Amino acid sequence: MVTVALLAAACQTEPQPVAADPAEAVMANILSRKSVRSYTADTIPAAVMENLLRAAMAAPSGRNIQPWSFVVLNDTSRYDEIFGDNHNMSMFKQSAVVVVICGDTTVVRPPRDNPDAPAVQQPSGTWRDDMGAVTENLLLAVEAYGLGACWTACYPYLDRMAPVKQALGLPATVVPYSVVPIGYPAGDEQPKDKWDPSRIHYGRW
């Protein structure tokens, strides 16, 4: 979170209060994240937007493949074409920015059983996991900047993915995984307390 504080300072925005103890700051960030579904009309400074995406791209990925790409949208006149009858449309249209997080389902590398052979395009085993990590990283950075966002599913719903894929011209192997509207919160959403010690098993189930 020290890093987030530095990034915030670097782009001349109002940094969120940062605890002196980095561990405390990180815990505060994670525990205060919540889905925000209503937004003010305020726009997001370009430098903040870049930092959000920088944080997203810092996510872990299997074999460090980094299968993600982002399509950043703010022209609401295109949303009917892009999102069809997605039930989250009112959220999308109210937000300052919608980020479509896309994942490549393939990876180009030498066959696993023959590392010296030329690289070939093959299915990626971990792209879904990687996409979850990148989406959560984005949400945590959103929280750090006092913004609000909501993870909305696109993959694996064909009816949601089809118009997005078509309207945004995604390559054949790339799928729109999640759609994240971002803006300054209009309401007062609070984080949910999900701590449940009964979910933890020590040694064995």
Ligand X SMILES: Cc1cc2nc3c(=O)[nH]c(=O)nc-3n(C[C@H](O)[C@H](O)[C@H](O)COP(=O)(O)O)c2cc1C
- The strand pair at 68-73 and 152-153 is best described as unpaired
Part of the chain binding ligand X (CB under 6 A), chosen from 1-9, 43-51, 100-108, 147-155: 147-155
Cβ-based nearer residue to ligand X, 192 or 204: 192
C-alpha neighbours within 13 Å on the C-beta side of residue 75? 6
Task: Round to whole Å and give the CA distance between 93 and 82.
Answer: 12
- The interface with ligand X within residues 47-86 (CB under 6 A) comprises none
Pick from 61, 88, 106, 137: which binds ligand X (CB under 6 A)?
A: 88
The number of residues that bind ligand X (CB under 6 A) is 9
Cβ-based nearer residue to ligand X, 51 or 86: 86
Question: Judged by CB under 6 A, does residue 112 bind ligand X?
Answer: no
Instruction: Give me the numbers of helices (H) and strands (E) for the chain, helices first please.
Output: 7, 7
Q: Where are the beta strands (DSSP E) in the chain?
A: 68-73, 97-104, 106-109, 120-123, 148-149, 152-153, 174-183
Tokens of 178: 């999640």
Question: Judged by CB under 6 A, does residue 137 bind ligand X?
Answer: no
Cβ-based nearer residue to ligand X, 79 or 151: 151
Pick from 5, 26, 30, 34: which binds ligand X (CB under 6 A)?
A: 34
Part of the chain binding ligand X (CB under 6 A), chosen from 14-22, 32-40, 105-113, 180-188: 32-40
Integer angstrom CA distances of residue 162 from 81, 85, 132, 150, 153: 11, 11, 20, 21, 13
Part of the chain binding ligand X (CB under 6 A), chosen from 58-66, 95-103, 105-113, 151-159: 151-159
Cβ-based nearer residue to ligand X, 11 or 153: 153
25 burial type by CB count under 10 A (0-12 exposed, 13-18 middle, 19+ buried) = buried
Q: Token match 């504080």: residue? A: 5
Question: Judged by CB under 6 A, does residue 35 bind ligand X?
Answer: yes
Cβ-based nearer residue to ligand X, 61 or 88: 88
Residue 7: phi, psi to the nearest 5? -60, -40
Question: Judged by CB under 6 A, does residue 133 bind ligand X?
Answer: no
Task: Round to whole Å and give the CA distance between 183 and 177.
Answer: 20
Question: Judged by CB under 6 A, does residue 109 bind ligand X?
Answer: no
The footprint of ligand X (CB under 6 A) covers: 34-35, 37, 88, 150-153, 192
